[in-house]
Amino acid sequence: MNTRSSASIDATLRARSRRLMWRDTRHLLVAVMPGAAWILIFLVLPSLYLISVAFMTNGPYGQPSLPLSLESFRNLAGFGFLGWSPGNLYTLLRSLWQTALSLVLVVLVSYPIAYYITTCRKKWRPIMLLLVVVPSWTNQVIRAFGWMNLLAPGTPLSNAAEALGLIAPNLGLFPSNFAVTLGLVYNFLPFMVLPLYAAFEKLNHGLIEAARDLYASPVRAFFVAVLPQTLPGLLAGSVLVAIPAFGMYVIPELLGGGRAMMLGNLVATQFAAGSNWPLGAAGSMLMLLATFIGLFVLRRMGRKLGGGDEVVI
Amino acid sequence: MSQAPHGTPETMNSDHPRRGEAGQENASAPRQASSISIFGLKKYFDGGVVALDGLDLDIREGEFFTLLGPSGCGKTTLLRMLAGLDTPDDGQISIGGMDVTDTPPHLRSVNTVFQSYALFPHLSVRDNIAFGLKMRGVNSAERQRRVSEIAEFIKLGALIDRRVDQLSGGQRQRIALARALVCEPDVLLLDEPLSALDAGLREQLQIELQRTQKRLGMTFVFVTHDQEEAMVMSDRIAVLNDGRIQQIGTPQEVYERPANSFVARFMGHDNLFEISARDGQRLTTSLGELNSDDVNEGSLALIRPETIELSAPGTPSPHAPINLNRVEGRITERFYRGSNVEYRLDCGTTELMAEVSNSGQRLFKVGDLVKVEIYPEDIVILKDAP
C-alpha cells in the first residue's frame, strides 16, 4: 500500500515537473524568438546564400549559375586561365599586415590618451572622451577625402616630408601605403581608446604601489601591475579594431589610390566592376574564416594572460 | 624587549644577497634589524591641510612599534613615507643609519603589508609570494626554496597552489604577510592589516603576528586605530593626532599614564574631571574634593574605571588609608560583560564609570546606592590636549 501510494505520488510529481518544464521552455521561446528571428533573417540566411554562391560557377553576365564547382576558390587561390599568379595572395597578406600594423599603432597611440584622460578631473573626462569620438560621427568617405587633401602632393605636409627626404619629389604622401595606415589608425582610434579608458578607470593603484614596494622599478611596475590590469580593455579594443580594419574598403580604396588593395577591395570589385559574384563570395568567406581564427587566437591569449574572462566574444 | 629570544629558524637565515658576508661570519647571530629615525618630517596635502607637522620619532631595532590614532591623524601617511610611496615636503628619514628620504621604494629594503593586501590577482599564490624575489633577480631555484620555507613558516599549507581569488580574508592576509616577509626586509610596515577581518580571526592573527615578529627579530611598524590591538601587540606605541605625536611609550605607560586628555580619551578612558583648584595633593574637581598622589601639572584628573571600588553603604573598610577618597553614587546603568561588570553612577554633580571584575560577588542593581572608594594613587593628573 505504502509503495503503491508513493509510486503514484512520484508519477504525479513527475507529470507536474514536466508541465513546469514545458512552461519554462515556452517562456524561454517567447523571450528568445524575436532575437532569433532577426539573426536568422539578417545573418544566417544571407550567410548561407553567400556560401552557396561561393560554390557556384560564374555565368556569362557575372551572375552566379550552376553547375556547382570549386572554381571560385581556385580563382581566389590565384589559379586563372593564364596559370597561377600571386596577386590575391599578396592582397591577403597585405590585409593581414595592414591590420596588424594599424592595430599596433592604434594601441601605441591610444594607451597614453586613455591614461591621460583618467588623470584629468572627473568633470572633464566625458568631454575629452567625446572629443575622441566626435570625428567618427562624420562619414568615413568625407574623412578620407579630408586626409587626401591634407596629404596630396604640394600640400604643406607633403612638402615637409619631401624636404626631410622621406619621400621622392612630387609624389606626395597620398596615395600610398602610409596614407592607408594613417587612415586606418585615425579611423579606429576611438574603438581602442574607449575600452582602454574603461580599463584604466578601474585601475587598482594599490597593485602598482605593491609592485613598487616589492622592488619593481617604475618600468617593471608598468609591465607587472599596469599592463595586466588593462589587458581586458586592450583585448576588447583589439577585436573592435582588427575585425573591421581587416575588411576595410573605403580607406584603402581612397587613400591607397588603387595601389594598396586589401581583401575588402577585392571582394567589392568582384561584386561590382569585376562581375564575378562567386569569387566575391569566396573572398568574403575567406575573410570570415580569417576573422574567426583571429578571434580564437585573441580569446586563447586573453585566457592565458588572465584577462580573458571579460572579453566575451 | 630587544633581548627577546631570537628564535630565528635556520630556514630564515638563508644566504641573503645583501647580508651574505655578515651571515657567513656568524650564522647564529641575531639578524641585523634596523632602527628608524625620523626628523622634522612635514607633509601638506593639497589645499594646505597639514598631514604631518614636523614629526620626530626614533624606532629601535627589532621593535614592534605601533602608530596609533584616529583616521586622518597622519599615521598612514607616515607609513607610506617609510615605504617611499609618498615624499615628505620637509624633514629626513633614515633607516639603519642610511638617509632614505629621497630613495625610491624599489631601492629600499622595506616591505609593506597593505590594508587591502594588494595581492596580484593575475598571479598564483606562489607567484605572489615569489614576486619580490623575482624583481630582485633571485634565481628560480633559490626562489622556490625560499617560498617553500616561508610557506612552512607562516603555515600556508595547501594554499600555496590556490588562485588568489579563491582565498578568504584571513588567508589573503597571510599571503600578504608571506609575500613581504620572504624578502627579509630591514623593516616590515603593516598598514591596518587586520582591520578587514572578523573579531575572532583578528585576535588569533594579532597573536600570530606578534610571535612572528619576536621569532624573526625584525623591526615591525604597525599602523592601527584600534587601541586594544595596539596594546596587545606592541613593544611601544606612538599616539598620533593632527599630524603630531601626542605620546610615545609602552602600552602600559600610554594606558595608565596618558600624556594628555586626547590620549586618555583615545585609550578609552571616560572618567576625566576638570580640576578647578589645587592645593598640593588636594584637588577640587567636578566630582568633589579629591586626594591624589600625582605630583604632575595638569588641569584634568583621570580615574580609570577598573581602579574604583564599589561596596554597599555601611560596609567597613578596615585597611583604608587615611586619605582614601569616598564618594556616594546611585547606579543608573549596568553593563554585564561576563568577565567584568560596568556600572554608570550618578554622583550628584557628575557621572562616573566603574568597572568591577566579576569574581562571583553580588552584583548591584540599577537604582542601588553604593559607596565609591578611590585610592589617591589611582588619580592621575594630566594636561588638556594641545
A213 CB neighbours in chain B (<8 A) are 83-85, 105-106, 110-112
Contacts of A288 (CB under 8 A, 6+ apart): none
What is the structure's pLDDT at A306?
A: 57
Contacts of B183 (CB under 8 A, 6+ apart): A214, A215, B109, B111, B132, B133, B136
Query: Under an 8 A CB cutoff, do A207 and B118 touch?
Result: yes
What is the structure's pLDDT at B112?
A: 93
Q: Are residues B155 and B294 in the same domain?
A: no
Compute the average pLDDT of residues B214-219: 89
**Average model confidence (pLDDT) across chain A:** 82
State the pTM of this model.
0.75
Q: Are residues B196 and B76 in the same domain?
A: yes
Residue B18 or residue A145, greater confidence: A145
B224 domain residue, yes or no: yes
Query: Under an 8 A CB cutoff, do A212 and B132 touch?
Result: no
Among A203, A213, A305, most B C-beta atoms within 10 A, so best to mutate, is A213
Compute the distance between CA of residue B220 and CA of residue B111 in angstroms, rounded to an integer. 10
Q: At residue B239, does pLDDT exceed 90?
A: yes
Name residues 159-198 of chain B within 8 A of A (Cβ): 179-180, 183
Q: Are residues B194 and B256 in the same domain?
A: yes
Which member of B104, B121, B132 has the closest CB to residue A214?
A: B132
A225 CB neighbours in chain B (<8 A) are 120
Lowest mean pLDDT among A39-48, A109-118, A160-169, B135-144: A160-169
A184-202: b (≥16 Cβ within 10 Å) or e: bbbbbbbbbbbbbbbbbee
pLDDT tens across B167-177, in order?
888 888 889 99
B195 domain residue, yes or no: yes
pLDDT above 70 covers a percentage of chain A that reads 92
Give the closest residue to A175 by CA, choosing from A155, A213, A148: A148
Taking the Cβ of residue A207 and every Cβ of chain B, the question of whether any pair is shorter than 8 Å is answered with yes
Taking the Cβ of residue B96 and every Cβ of chain A, the question of whether any pair is shorter than 8 Å is answered with no
- What is the chain A residue with the closest CA to B119? A207
Taking the Cβ of residue B121 and every Cβ of chain A, the question of whether any pair is shorter than 8 Å is answered with yes
Compute the distance between CA of residue B246 and CA of residue B183 in angstroms, rounded to an integer. 33
pLDDT tens across A171-209, in order?
777 777 788 888 889 989 999 999 999 989 888 999 999
Residue B158 or residue A80, greater confidence: B158
pLDDT tens across B127-143, in order?
999 999 999 989 999 99
Compute the distance between CA of residue A298 and CA of residue A301 in angstroms, rounded to an integer. 5
- What is the chain B residue with the closest CA to A309? B122
What is the structure's pLDDT at B237?
A: 95
Taking the Cβ of residue A244 and every Cβ of chain B, the question of whether any pair is shorter than 8 Å is answered with no
What is the structure's pLDDT at A89?
A: 80
Query: Under an 8 A CB cutoff, do B136 and A307 touch?
Result: no
Total residue count of chain B as it appears in this document: 386
Query: Which domain CATH number covers B356?
Result: 2.40.50.100
A224 CB neighbours in chain B (<8 A) are 120, 131, 135
Compute the average pLDDT of residues A22-33: 84
What is the structure's pLDDT at B4?
A: 41
Compute the average pLDDT of residues A224-250: 86
A228 CB neighbours in chain B (<8 A) are 120, 122
Residue B6 or residue A70, greater confidence: A70
What is the structure's pLDDT at B168?
A: 85
Which member of A210, A228, A307 has the closest CB to residue B118?
A: A210
Compute the distance between CA of residue B188 and CA of residue B150 in angstroms, rounded to an integer. 15
Q: Are residues B333 and B228 in the same domain?
A: no
Compute the average pLDDT of residues B334-349: 90
A74 confidence band (pLDDT: 50, 70, 90): confident
Query: Under an 8 A CB cutoff, do A306 and B122 touch?
Result: yes
Give the number of beta-carbon pairs within 8 Å between A and B.
63
Q: At residue A59, does pLDDT exceed 60?
A: yes
Q: Are residues B63 and B170 in the same domain?
A: yes
Q: At residue A312, does pLDDT exceed 70?
A: no
B151 domain residue, yes or no: yes
Taking the Cβ of residue A212 and every Cβ of chain B, the question of whether any pair is shorter than 8 Å is answered with yes
Q: At residue A230, does pLDDT exceed 60?
A: yes
Q: At residue B23, does pLDDT exceed 70?
A: no
Q: Are residues B71 and B102 in the same domain?
A: yes
Query: Under an 8 A CB cutoff, do A209 and B85 touch?
Result: yes
B33 confidence band (pLDDT: 50, 70, 90): low
Compute the average pLDDT of residues B48-61: 88
B28 domain residue, yes or no: yes
Name residues 292-311 of chain A within 8 A of B (Cβ): 305-307
B293 domain residue, yes or no: yes
Lowest mean pLDDT among A113-127, A153-167, B131-145, B273-287: A153-167
* Start-to-end Cα distance in chain A: 57
B271 domain residue, yes or no: no
Q: Are residues B60 and B128 in the same domain?
A: yes
Q: Are residues B19 and B50 in the same domain?
A: yes
Boundary of a domain, candidates B231, B261, B291: B261
Q: Are residues B243 and B114 in the same domain?
A: yes
B119 CB neighbours in chain A (<8 A) are 210
Number of domains in chain B: 2
What is the structure's pLDDT at B336?
A: 92
B145 confidence band (pLDDT: 50, 70, 90): very high
Q: Are residues B221 and B81 in the same domain?
A: yes
Which member of B106, B119, B120 has the closest CB to residue A215?
A: B106
Compute the distance between CA of residue B113 and CA of residue B131 in angstroms, rounded to an integer. 14
Give the closest residue to B157 by CA, choosing from B169, B141, B144, B174: B174
Compute the distance between CA of residue A205 and CA of residue B114 in angstroms, rounded to an integer. 12
Amino acid type, A303? R
Compute the average pLDDT of residues A102-114: 93
Q: At residue B64, does pLDDT exceed 80?
A: yes
Boundary of a domain, candidates B206, B233, B261: B261
**Average model confidence (pLDDT) across chain B:** 85
Q: At residue A313, does pLDDT exceed 50?
A: no
Which member of B105, B116, B136 has the closest CB to residue A213?
A: B105
Which member of A212, A215, A228 has the closest CB to residue B122?
A: A228
Compute the distance between CA of residue A139 and CA of residue A131 in angstroms, rounded to an integer. 16
Which member of A206, A218, A305 has the closest CB to residue B118?
A: A206
pLDDT tens across B264-298, in order?
999 988 889 988 888 888 888 888 888 888 888 88
CA Rg value for chain B? 25
Chain A nearest-CA distance from B144, in A, is 17
Among B86, B103, B129, B135, most A C-beta atoms within 10 A, so best to mutate, is B135
- Does residue A250 contact residue A144 with C-beta atoms inside 8 Å? yes
Q: At residue B7, does pLDDT exceed 60?
A: no
B136 domain residue, yes or no: yes
Compute the distance between CA of residue B147 and CA of residue B130 in angstroms, rounded to an integer. 6
- What is the chain B residue with the closest CA to A212? B106
Residue B18 or residue A90, greater confidence: A90
Q: Which helix (H) or strand (E) holds B94?
A: strand B90-95
Give the closest residue to A183 by CA, choosing from A234, A211, A142: A142
Lowest mean pLDDT among A70-79, A111-120, A149-158: A70-79
- Domain of residue B316, residue span: 279-382
Q: Are residues B289 and B240 in the same domain?
A: no
Question: Checking DSSP bridges between strand B300-303 and strand B379-382, what pairing results, if any?
Answer: antiparallel
B362 domain residue, yes or no: yes
Q: Where are the alpha helices (DSSP H) in A55-165?
A: 71-76, 87-119, 125-133, 140-151, 156-163
Would you state the cell numbers that stand for residue A126, as one nine-digit string?
A: 566625458
Q: At residue B27, does pLDDT exceed 50?
A: no
Residue A260 or residue B276, greater confidence: B276
Would you state the cell numbers that stand for residue A136, as one nine-digit string?
A: 567618427
Which member of A209, A216, A218 has the closest CB to residue B118?
A: A209
Q: At residue B28, does pLDDT exceed 80?
A: no
Total residue count of chain A as it appears in this document: 313
B111 CB neighbours in chain A (<8 A) are 213-214
Compute the distance between CA of residue B76 and CA of residue B24 in angstroms, rounded to an integer. 37
Bridge partner list, B221: B65, B189
Amino acid type, A243? I
Boundary of a domain, candidates B230, B261, B292: B261
Name residues 63-92 of chain B within 8 A of A (Cβ): 83-85
Q: At residue A3, does pLDDT exceed 60?
A: no
B6 confidence band (pLDDT: 50, 70, 90): very low
Query: Which domain CATH number covers B153?
Result: 3.40.50.300
Query: Under an 8 A CB cutoff, do A217 and B106 touch?
Result: yes
Q: Are residues B94 and B134 in the same domain?
A: yes
Would you state the cell numbers that stand for residue B93, as one nine-digit string?
A: 628619514
